[in-house]
Amino acid sequence: MLFGAGDDLGLATHLELSYLEGDMTALECLVHFEQCQLDVPGAILTAAQLEFRVLASTIQEDWTIDGAE
């Protein structure tokens, strides 16, 4: 099945709305944009970077608590 530019715009809009409505995290949304080879909106990219930093710091804290540092 071939998709045109209009289909890409519709998919991008759907993904962005899914994030804004809380149906997926920014990281999940970023993965979908990348899998579909679509340009990632700046707001999604910024939010995904923040989510990643929070996740990474949480993992590091868990490792420190478990004595794996």
pTM of model > 0.85: no
36-46 pLDDT, tens digit per residue, is 999 999 999 99
13-54 pLDDT, tens digit per residue, is 999 999 999 999 999 999 999 999 999 999 999 999 999 999
Q: Where are the alpha helices (DSSP H) in 1-69?
A: 5-20, 26-35, 42-65
- Kindly compute the dihedral angle of the four CA atoms of residues 38, 39, 45, 46, in this order, to the nearest 10 degrees: -160
